[in-house]
Amino acid sequence: MPTIDSILKETRQFPPSEDFRQHATISGMNSYKGLCEQADNQYLPYWEGLARELITWKKPFTRVLDDSNAPFFKWFDDGVLNVSYNCLDRHLAKHADKTAIIFEADDGTVTRASYAELHRRVCQFANGLRSLGIAKGQRVIIYMPMSIEAVIAMQACARIGAIHSVVFGGFSAKSVQERIVDAGAVAVITANEGMRGGKAVPLKAVVDDAYGLGNCSSVKHTIVYQRTPSTPNQWQEDRDIWWHKLVEGQADSCEPEWMGAEDPLFILYTSGSTGKPKGIQHSSAGYLLGAMNSFRWVFDIKPNDVFWCTADVGWITGHSYVCYGPLSMAATQVIFEGVPTYPDAHRFWQMIERHKVSIFYTAPTAIRSLIKLGSDFPRQHDLSSLRLLGTVGEPINPEAWIWYHEVVGKGRCPIVDTWWQTETGSIMIAPLPGVVATKPGSCTLPLPGVMADIVDESGETVEPGKGGMLVIKKPFPSLVRTIWGDPERFKKTYFPEEFKGQYYLAGDSAHRDEHGYFWIMGRIDDVLNVSGHRLGTMEIESALVANSMVAEAAVVGRPHEIKGEAVVAFVVLKGPRPDGEEARKTVEQLKSWVAQEIGKIAQPDDIRFGDNLPKTRSGKIMRRLLRAIARGEEITQDTSTLENPAILQQLQEPAA
């Protein structure tokens, strides 16, 4: 793969400054190695120690790991706790007045919530949910804009033991409906509207459309946070209730539901290579431990830090490093409703200056789009509060890394490139900032206790410089527990037979350099990474085929300057192959169709029409060929097994 070569040329190294190292929570290679040795030699006592140190238990556990039903592992399973108690109540003695959240709305209005206030509001909302009869183990969909209320909704579910499933506010009615049905949700928490870039996003209307698609009779309540003055078009009295009405008169304390360590905390849907999205199910204690420990070590959090993670709560990053990590460690964080370029490209830098952000965590795609707008924007702001930068979601190209380091971090701030997944729940591979000399484009070394390796098909470790499959060889507390409603798929996908069901298969390819640093090369399955978001090619294909005009579709990725990867679709229509104005119109129709079926992020950048798709005689679509066509590369592969070689030329022509 060509990416290996280009990456291997990257030899620049950036050790932490002496000052940073001195003050870091984990400082120096010897401390890191000590922790790794402890984890290597005494794996279970290592995790046990962290779980006792970090989590406040209602009833402490006596068992660390139960692997009798592998790969359905259980951690600390006779322990009893409540995650929201760990995020709020236990801070009240010392940090009641500390700011938990600085919220900046799209229009620039700033609202703050202290730990005491957040606690009070979570309790009231939790009492409200209980008054509707929502209880432990029931599923609640959260479809909210970025807001203090979104965090309150998640925390309130955790408080009463309801399992939340947050759906990203950019997803379509169809996506919301599928998740309601799959989870069997009893309630949906939403807002009348969200505000992004000066425009209103009609969230409640999308939820109504989702209900309109049918099979949503499990939902008994829609709770609507009033973000803007507008009134929803539809309102069903026996089902819909305003948030402010629900909390009216509710007590400001609320006894938490005491949960078993293994009781599910949430389900988060993510794309897989085939079929419908997978409901990634996380536990209470193991997940919380992963979020907490990675937050304190990777972000080196200190009492006075102001942390800002730009991820939406609809993604795992927003779960672990907006909702659960920062609050469980009593940190102060910024939450932002809007977009980086509204009202103009000063926004992010202005916010860092205004709120004196010291730790900034964002995605390579955001960095690349900000680079494109020019270095003048960050240069006009006082960014001296920053001391640490982070990235997540996709490999960061060295050029973007260097820009981030120089223009944003002024060469002072370590960059933590954090590799992890919805499934791992928390950061797995990342430079501890007071320890590891970073290299642009590498996520460097696993955290202590993470037994990451790179193996070939037979499970053997590959030598340095050789690409292979990224695996984690031992179960760890924050790992996904199962796929909601589909344990067989869980087993097959993540603990495949080829590795005797022993290794967690991440689905990424990677290689290691001579210093043991990990370099992620991309996915090994048919999953695209568009703007740091995982999209299954099958999902987009199914959406296209669901359109009445479409007979067949194949989707591949193509490198994109800002988004990382762009979606390219090859489509066979039921009618004749269109051209000219008609082709242009059909492309537009299909693009909005995909936006409606899945969401705007899944929209193809490019749609090509053919009378057929390139297939082998056995009927398999030749995806590698399509990838080459999508990239505009010359076709060097053997096409002799093709049914109909003439279609290649058709597919090479952009439709519009």
Instruction: Catalog residues that contact ligand WTA under the rule CB under 6 A.
Output: 270, 315-317, 392-395, 417-422, 443, 506-508, 520, 523, 529, 534
- Smallest distance, Å, CB 316 to ligand WTA? 5
- Name the minimum Å distance from CB 7 to ligand WTA: 11
- Nearest distance in Å: CB 282, ligand WTA: 12
Contact 271, 304 (CB under 8 A): no
Task: Please identify, using beta-carbon distances, which residue of 82 and 531 lies nearer to ligand WTA.
Answer: 531
Closest separation between CB of residue 396 and ligand WTA, Å?
7
Q: Which is nearer to ligand WTA, 430 or 553 (CB)?
A: 430
d(Cα 534, Cα 336) in Å, to the nearest integer?
22
Smallest gap from Cβ 259 to ligand WTA, in A, equals 25
| Distance of closest approach, residue 648 Cβ to ligand WTA, in angstroms | 30
Rg of the chain (C-alpha set):
24
Is 123 within 8 Å of 187 (Cβ atoms)?
A: no
CB nearer to ligand WTA: pick between 521 and 544: 521
The nearer residue to ligand WTA, 403 or 420, going by C-beta atoms, is 420
Ramachandran quadrant class, 573 (left: phi over 0; alpha: psi -120 to 50; beta: rest): beta
Q: With DSSP H G I counted as helix, E B as strand and the rest as coil, what are the percentages for the chain, rounded to 5?
A: 35, 25, 45
Report the C-alpha gap between 412 and 435 in whole angstroms: 15
Which two tokens mark 417?
């490139």
Distance CA 320, CA 544 (A): 33
Please give the Cα distance from 29 to 36 (Å, whole number): 10
Distances (CA, A) of 428 to 218, 236, 297, 419, 506: 37, 45, 11, 6, 11
CA nearest to 100, candidates 426, 385, 335: 335
Cα distance between residue 418 and residue 294, in whole Å: 10
Compare residues 378 and 395 and give the one whose CB is closer to ligand WTA: 395
Query: Which one, 316 or 628, has the nearer CB to ligand WTA?
Result: 316
Q: Which two tokens stand for residue 245?
A: 């009405």
* 71 preceded by a cis bond (ω within 30 of 0): yes
Which residue sits closest to ligand WTA, CB atoms considered? 422
Kindly state the smallest distance separating residue 421's Cβ from ligand WTA, in Å. Answer: 4
Minimum distance from residue 504 beta carbon to ligand WTA (Å)? 12
In whole angstroms, what is the distance from residue 190 CA to residue 198 CA?
Answer: 19
Report residue 564 as tokens.
């990382």
Residues near 410 by beta carbon (within 8 Å), at least 6 away in sequence: 383, 384, 386
Q: Which is nearer to ligand WTA, 73 or 321 (CB)?
A: 321
Shortest separation between residue 147's beta carbon and ligand WTA, angstroms: 21
Measured from the CB atom, the residue of 244 and 515 that comes closer to ligand WTA is 515
Is the CB of 392 or the CB of 572 nearer to ligand WTA?
A: 392
Q: Give 284 or 421: the residue with its C-beta nearer to ligand WTA.
A: 421
Minimum CB distance to ligand WTA smaller for 243 or for 504: 504
DSSP 64-132: SEE-TTTTS-EESTT-EE-HHHHHTGGGHHHHTTSEEEEEE-TTS-EEEEEHHHHHHHHHHHHHHHHHT
Q: Determine the Cα–Cα distance for residues 333 and 299; give it in Å rounded to an integer.
A: 12
Instruction: Please state the closest distance from residue 501 (CB atom) to ligand WTA, in A.
Output: 20
- The CB-of-418 to ligand WTA minimum distance in angstroms stands at 5
Cβ distance 188 to 153 under 8 Å? no
Tokens of 437: 């000399």
Size of the chain in residues: 656
Q: Are 160 and 126 in contact (CB under 8 A)?
A: yes
Sequence-ordered list of residues with C-beta below 8 angstroms from that of 625, at least 6 positions apart, any chain: 614, 635, 637, 639, 648
**Considering beta carbons, is residue 392 or 554 the nearer one to ligand WTA?**
392
CB of 281 to ligand WTA, least distance (A): 14
